Amino acid sequence: MPINPKKTDMSKQAPEARVKNFNEVALGYNEAEALKEAARCLQCKKPFCIEGCPVNVNIPAFIKLVGEKKYDEAAKKIKETNSLPAVCGRVCPQEEQCELKCIVGKKNEPVGIGRLERFVADAEMKAGNIEKNAVKLPEKKLAKVVIAGSGPAGLTCAGDLAMLGYDVTIYESLHATGGVLRYGIPQFRLPKEILDIEVDYLRKLGVKIIVNVLVGKTIPVAELFKQGYAAVFIGAGAGLPSFLGVPGENLAGVYSANEYLTRINLMQAYKFPETDTPVRIGGRVAVVGAGNVAMDAARCSLRLGAKEVYIVYRRSEEEMPARKEEIENAVEEGVKLHLLTAPVEVLGDEKTGRVTGLKVIKCSLGEPDASGRRRPVIIPGSEYVMELDTVVSAIGQSPNPLIPQSMPELKTGKWGNIVTNEETGETSVPGVYAGGDIATGAATVIAAMGAGKKAAASMDKYIKAKLGIG
């Protein structure tokens, strides 16, 4: 039978319905769709897809198990290397990773690996088998370790170290777990109930999670070693947002995407005044930037009642860093793209200090710059004013400054990032490891997970060498 050239479609909520709610947009495969898609996998002898996955999930093996309707076994297979399959199945940019390497993808559309991963994780959840399937770990632990931050890097590092036999404590500074998975990614892309279940899976592996503790402030790292912890992983995540660098960036109504999304996702401002944290959106919103975070901010704005929502981006559609499917979703929902457009000044009301508009200028694309992308060149005299109530700056952030501030001996790079050995996560301080946005600057969830995984492996080696075992 010839292979189906197209990926099996996944159903979605219709655009006109979904802009009125925060429910998940993509609905996932049903069993028939999953079986149909699993049949497209060639079961390659040399599977390149595994290389493409930062946490090296044994993709052909789990897809084979799906084909055999052994969904629990498939879930166990994924969880051998990935503790967060329901999260990854939803938010990983598979098209740049495993699916990019898929042999089927050479001539046709690649196998929908991410969609299958999600199907498997959701099936295990729906069957209520997560606890039953969890690996039983020995009571006696090798040593105690601390993970600072419960975002994707920290959760992955914690899961791997728990499986390796360590007594793991995660300290989270916010009042809720998940880091960017909770405060950043909206409910309609990653339902928090799903996140809760995956975080809870780590607790089943024996990981202790303590919120309201900021390592470096509440407890200094040096103090942790005094308390007998053998190693520390720092996954403190994103830090201070970058602003536009134009006049008016501090007017009321200019939010960083971090603030905007944190108000909405973590603090549930969409339920204000039932909840206590407000967010003021108004009728017209411009989001500057074109990554996934920008798409999330734009799509949240529509769901909160904004009439006009614009993406302002100085390059063209081709250079937009967001996942293609998220851009498509945003456009379907009514987000308008102002491409080749750069902000010049945020305009405000003198008296109230509130945003009234954004002065922008048109650009064309010149020669490629250091990033390899074509550089935007301003077209003189092409300024115009967009009338707005809210401006969201979604142009990235620097790594979180607080732990480096508290540890002068920790070597940091140009952007305030913790300098690490990329292969091991080692920092300049023995026993201290780091990974995720704190080390690399803003990147993806799965890249952070990959870093957490590598760090876990080298922490294991370091501790065993110190204890003279293994």
Partner 1 sequence: MFKILKKRDVSPSVKLIEIEAPLVANSAKSGQFVVLRLKDGGERIPLTIADKDKKKGTLTIVFQVVGKTTQELSVYKAGDSIKDLLGPLGKATDFGGAKNIVCVAGGVGIAEIYPEVKELQEEGKKVTTIIGARNKSLLFFEEELKAVSSALHITTDDGSSGRKGFVSDVLKDLLTSDKSIDLVVAVGPVIMMKVVSELTKNFNVRTIVSLNPIMLDATGMCGACRVTVGGKTLFGCVDGPSFDGHQVDFGGLMKRLNQFKDEEKNSAEIYKLKCAECR
Positions in the binding site for partner 1 (CB under 8 A): 173-175, 183, 211-214, 217-220, 237-241, 243, 249-253, 255-256, 258-259, 262-263, 267-268, 271-278, 280, 352-354, 397, 400-402, 405
Query: Residue 240 Cβ, how far from partner 1 at the closest point, in Å?
Result: 6
Query: Residue 87 Cβ, how far from partner 1 at the closest point, in Å?
Result: 20
Query: Residue 169 Cβ, how far from partner 1 at the closest point, in Å?
Result: 13
Query: Residue 256 Cβ, how far from partner 1 at the closest point, in Å?
Result: 4
Dihedral of CA 330/335/339/341: which sign? negative
Task: Considering the complex, state which of residue 271 and residue 461 has its C-beta at the smaller distance from partner 1.
Answer: 271
**Residue of 137, 159, 139, 163 whose CA lies nearest to 150:** 159
Query: Residue 156 Cβ, how far from partner 1 at the closest point, in Å?
Result: 20
In contact, 281 and 255? CB cutoff 8 Å: no
Task: Considering the complex, state which of residue 239 and residue 452 has its C-beta at the smaller distance from partner 1.
Answer: 239
Task: Show the 3-state SS of the chain.
Answer: CCCCCCCCCCCECCHHHHCCCCCCCECCCCHHHHHHHHCCCCCCCCCHHHHHCCCCCCHHHHHHHHHCCCHHHHHHHHHCCCCCHHHHHHHCCHHHCHHHHCHHHHCCCCCCHHHHHHHHHHHHHHCCCHHHHCCCCCCCCCCEEEEECCCHHHHHHHHHHHHCCCEEEEECCCCCCCCHHHHCCCCCCCCHHHHHHHHHHHHHCCCEEECCCCECCCECHHHHHHCCCCEEEECCCEEEECCCCCCCCCCECEEEHHHHHHHHHHCCHHHCCCCCCCCCCCCEEEEECCCHHHHHHHHHHHHCCCCEEEEECCCCHHHCCCCHHHHHHHHHHCCEEECCEEEEEEEECCCCCEEEEEEEEEEEEEEECCCCCEEEEECCCCCEEEECCEEEECCCEEECCHHHHHCCCCCECCCCCECCCCCCCECCCCCEEECCHHHHCCCCHHHHHHHHHHHHHHHHHHHHHHHCCC
Task: Considering the complex, state which of residue 134 and residue 251 has its C-beta at the smaller distance from partner 1.
Answer: 251
Task: Considering the complex, state which of residue 163 and residue 403 has its C-beta at the smaller distance from partner 1.
Answer: 403
Query: Residue 258 Cβ, how far from partner 1 at the closest point, in Å?
Result: 5
Task: Considering the complex, state which of residue 173 and residue 420 has its C-beta at the smaller distance from partner 1.
Answer: 173
Q: Are strands 432-434 and 231-234 parallel, antiparallel or unpaired?
A: parallel
- Sole residue written with tokens 């992308």: 373
Task: Considering the complex, state which of residue 353 and residue 366 has its C-beta at the smaller distance from partner 1.
Answer: 353
Query: Residue 140 Cβ, how far from partner 1 at the closest point, in Å?
Result: 28
Task: Considering the complex, state which of residue 130 and residue 269 has its C-beta at the smaller distance from partner 1.
Answer: 269
Task: Considering the complex, state which of residue 22 and residue 29 has its C-beta at the smaller distance from partner 1.
Answer: 22
Task: Considering the complex, state which of residue 251 and residue 443 has its C-beta at the smaller distance from partner 1.
Answer: 251
Query: Residue 261 Cβ, how far from partner 1 at the closest point, in Å?
Result: 9
Query: Residue 251 Cβ, how far from partner 1 at the closest point, in Å?
Result: 8
Query: Residue 287 Cβ, how far from partner 1 at the closest point, in Å?
Result: 15
Task: Considering the complex, state which of residue 400 and residue 440 has its C-beta at the smaller distance from partner 1.
Answer: 400
